[in-house]
Amino acid sequence: MGGLDLELLFFALILLACVAAGRLSGKMGVPALLLFLLLGMLCGVDGPLGLDFSDFALAERICSVALIFIMFYGGFGTRWEAARPVAGRAVVLSSAGVAATALLTAGFCRLALGMTAGESLLTGAVISSTDAASVFSILRAKKLGLKENTASLLELESGSNDPCAYLMTVVGLTLLGAGEEAALLATVARQVLFGLLLGPLVAVLAVFLLKKLDFSESGMDIVFVFAVAALAYALPAAAGGNGYLGTYLAGLFMGNAAIPRKTALVPFFDGTTGLAQMVLFFLLGLLATPSELPAVLPAALGVTLFLTFVSRPVAVFVLLKPFRCSTRQCLLVSWAGLRGAASIVFAVMAVGSGAAMGHDLFHMVFCVCLFSVALQGSLLPRVAEGLEMTDSEESLRRTFTDYQDERLLHLTRLEIDRAHPWRGQRLADCPLPADGLVVMIRRGEESVIPGGDTVLLEGDLLVLSTPVYQEKEMGLELRELPVEKGSPWSGKAIRELDIPGETLIVLVQRSDGTAVVPKGGTRLHPGDTLVVTDKGK
């Protein structure tokens, strides 16, 4: 067996082990990253396999690419409607909160650990952001609903604070390098300006192209969005801006825009970011040398305790109390500040930069992340219950689209026009499918919660929910028939077509990408594509 074969075999076995660890973490209520870290350590230089991997430059490149897609999907998966009520406080936490946490932790490192000013700021910056994936893996595993819209606050804050931590890390590295104030101010200005401008610009153009161009070839829209995520990072970064801010904002804009085939993107990026986190955390464990950990344990434990019980709570209370947040919510948000993916990447980036440091930053961050996940992550459900912040009637805030994206249900829009047989009827008297449910009625500017006695009026828009169709249930096969220029079907209504009785047209896709549910009077045009099913096929 050749070298490549052995490498592929090892890679496949590691991925399978990570998948198994992820499943185990859900039952334990511990973030999967902790198990990925331990798995990497078992394979590392001091583990049974004894793999000696110490290429920080390669690790930085791999981790940076992984974080791009983690951050893009973090923005893509944020539902703005749910996050809007807490957006102000979340943005304050993800910017000023990160800066305050970094500076307070830097002060502790300077005074208690004797680090230089540059080293102190760099250490505080690297571990100043929180990890959304870790927090929500626990909340969802334990099915914890949180009061006071805290889940949405944690999601938006954790998903958006990495760019600020990256900026602080750049500042720390600059101080350890040239250290010129003018150069530092210019660096900060470029980071913020180009990140804020170029990332959303890429997203706006991408949404426009997705709506205008024909991506009917299977999978091309997924490839396009994948490239957009990379471009939203690379373009600001090439201009000296904050690429992570750019790709997060691009994901936020695209995730909340009406783009075709969005449901196909969700499972793809679920898998992509899952793989990225597996690789990232496993690589951190592989880079670590357990025999060197005892030397940094006292300092790492001190930083962890200060971060958990002083700097993060102080930043949270000072910034959230003006928003009239309750003390219980502030305490829970403080405790939920787990360290994770970004801290790993920024530590690797700092070590790989060659900056002169008098302490082992990488292994210190490794221990801080390990302590944070093991202590805060494992106790988060108990802390939420102890603070009486759990709410059995309020689950994690999601929209209908979230469940549709996960292929759990299908939503259908139905308009009640003048000729509709349901007009003027009570909902209880309408012949709905046995497994169907009207979940919402839009009446003008008003949303009506439907009941059996609700009378349907002309102009009502109904949202119907039904279980999603699974291909394996019936084995139904569809085929496409193009309507070309000069075709005898061009210009005719469907009722005028000579179609065999066993053939049914189930969808008409127009040349501009729009889809039409066919009726007898639907007229066909050149460039249309008919989706049909045949009896017995």
CATH at residue 498 = 3.30.70.1450
Residue with tokens 């923005």: 75
Q: Are residues 339 and 413 in the same domain?
A: no
Residues 485 and 459 grouped into a single domain:
no
The domain boundary, picked from 352, 386, 420, lies at 386
Whether residue 394 is contained in a domain is answered as no
Tokens encoding 209:
């192209």
For residue 396, tell me if it sits in a domain.
no
Q: How far apart are CA 89 and CA 426, in angstroms?
A: 44
DSSP code per residue over 332-360: HHHHT----HHHHHHHHHHHHTT---SS-
- Tell me if 223 is assigned to some domain: yes
pLDDT tens for 486-509 read 888 888 888 888 877 677 888 888
In terms of domains, do 355 and 376 share one? yes
418/353 same-domain check = no
Are 462 and 504 within one domain?
Answer: no
Answer yes or no: is pLDDT of 437 > 90: no
Q: Which residues of 147-166 are buried (b: 16+ CB within 10 A; e: fewer)?
A: bbbbbbbbbbbbbbbbbbbb
* Residue 69 CB neighbour total at 10 angstroms: 22
Give the pLDDT of residue 472.
47
Number of folded domains that form the chain: 3
272 with 319, same domain: the answer is yes
> Do 451 and 499 sit in the same domain of this protein?
no
Q: What is the pLDDT of residue 403?
A: 42
**Domain termination residue (choose one: 421, 436, 468):** 468
State whether 230 and 332 are in the same domain: yes
- The domain boundary, picked from 447, 468, 489, lies at 468
Together in a domain, 367 and 435: no
Per-residue model confidence (pLDDT) at position 33: 72
The pLDDT value given to residue 406: 46
Q: How confident is residue 398, by pLDDT bands cut at 50, 70 and 90?
A: very low
User: 245 and 167 in one domain?
Assistant: yes
Please report whether residue 397 resides in a domain: no
CA distance 484 to 490: 7
Q: Which of 441, 463, 461 is nearest to 453 (CA)?
A: 441
Question: Which range, of 49-53, 105-109, 223-227, 453-457, averages the lowest pLDDT?
Answer: 49-53
Per the structure, the complete domain to which residue 434 belongs is given by 408-468
Specify the pLDDT at position 395: 46
Domain shared by 446 and 484, yes or no: no
- Residues 517, 450, single domain; the answer is no
Token digits for 23?
A: 């499943």
Give domain status of residue 402, yes or no: no
